[in-house]
Amino acid sequence: GESVGLHLPTLSVQEGDNSIINCAYSNSASDYFIWYKQESGKGPQFIIDIRSNMDKRQGQRVTVLLNKTVKHLSLQIAATQPGDSAVYFCAEIRHSGFQKLVFGTGTRLLVSP
């Protein structure tokens, strides 16, 4: 059948390269942002989060940068591995006391050995 839906932007990298995935968010009132990884057939998996009072946060091999001026988030993955291949979504929370996440479109990361 015909596939209907958004065409995901794709980032193709070689194993060992650094990857940068970008996301624009929509609501300047959002105060909490999360990057999720979604492997085929699985649910979103938390990678890293950042609050709006920060502009950078580092985890293990991942760094998230937040630019509130232009409402932009990026996820940097160091030394990308084949196991990093997945769709990556940013999500913003328009805080209402409960975590109503608003997900972005997603970027497919393909890592070649």
Among positions 39-58, residues that touch another protein (CB under 8 A) are 41-46, 49
Task: Give, in degrees to the nearest 5, the angle at Cα 96 between 93 and 97.
Answer: 105
The string of DSSP codes covering 3-64 is --SPPPPEEEEETTS-EEEEEE---TT--EEEEEEE-TTS--EEEEEEETT-SEEE-SSEEE
Q: How far is the CB of 40 from another protein (least distance, A)?
A: 11
Q: Using the rule CB under 8 A, give the single segment among 19-27, 58-66, 67-75, 95-103 that binds another protein.
A: 95-103
- Of these, 80, 92, 104, 107, which contacts another protein (CB under 8 A)? 104
State the Cα–Cα distance between residues 64 and 74, nearest whole angstrom: 6
Does position 66 bind another protein by CB under 8 A? no
Measured from the CB atom, is 10 or 45 closer to another protein? 45
Binding site for another protein (CB under 8 A): 3-6, 8, 32, 38, 41-46, 49, 89, 91, 93, 95-106
